[in-house]
Amino acid sequence: MSKGWNDLVGSLRRTLSRLTDRRTGENASYSMADIGLSAFSVFFTQSPSFLSAQKTMEQAKGRSNAQSLFQVEQIPCDNHIRQTLDPVAPEELFGLYDEVLESLWQGGALTGWRGIGDNLLVALDGTWYFSSQKIHCPNCSCLEHKSGEKTYYHSAITPVIVAPGQPHAIPLRPEFITPQDGHTKQDCEIAAAKRWLEKNAAAYAPLKATLLGDDLYAHQPFCRPTRMHDFHFPFVCKPD
């Protein structure tokens, strides 16, 4: 059977407890699991004031939703969460994507997501998750406007399993669009998508997957490796 909520939170806690911890001395009073779960809970509820509200609830009622839903033992402050998680490589969480997908697969939960030819649909798309005209770092991409101003941003390929009639999507391992060692050109979505194929095809192709994408992907240099890695594809393109 696929995992229930408590099992999934337990898997998340185990993964987060193993994250690289660069803290020293007295500032290590909060566990990495509590720090990671507190950060995750903000995205889960889509509420930027979630943690402060939880602390208020804990003081008033003796227990918060962060504790009952996410098994958080102690809620850290926002700054401590940022400072502790910033140095952690995103790849340290990738195993959790695989664990959830394996659970869904083995439990038969993917049956309702399959379409023509018993295939799963995997949608590829790039998304920005940070942008600023002032704050930037060596891993930023840069968009230069006609006015001369620059927008610095971070983005990633975020593949998800989708299906007609399904209100949810199942996320797969992402691939970050970031400067690559030995490359002089700025990294881009299509280059990141090719890296995603190389890294993940062996794991995902056996699921019998069809890749979906917009016209950015609809050209021979990307279609060919898609077929070489045993994926099917319909990529959108205009008649001309």
pLDDT tens-digit series, residues 93-138: 999 999 989 888 888 889 989 988 899 999 999 999 999 999 999 8
The pLDDT of residue 48: 62
Give the integer Cα–Cα distance in Å for 129 and 5: 27
Greater pLDDT, 38 or 198: 198
Whether residue 1 is predicted with pLDDT greater than 60 in this model: the reply is no
* Helix, strand and coil in the chain, % to nearest 5: 45, 15, 40
| Residue 209: Cβ-neighbour burial (10 angstroms; 0-12, 13-18, 19+) | buried
Is 38's pLDDT higher than 70? yes
Instruction: Give the per-residue pLDDT at 68.
Output: 73
The strand order across the sheet containing 170-171 reads 170-171, 160-162, 120-123, 209-212
Q: Kindly state the average pLDDT of the residues 26-31.
A: 81
What local confidence, expressed as pLDDT, does residue 85 receive? 94
pLDDT in tens, 153-200: 999 999 999 999 999 999 999 999 998 887 778 899 999 999 999 999
% of the chain with per-residue pLDDT over 70: 90
pLDDT digits (tens, 9 = 90+) for 47-71: 666 666 666 666 665 666 677 777 7
Q: What is the pLDDT of residue 187?
A: 92
Give the C-alpha separation, 202 to 229, whole Å.
8
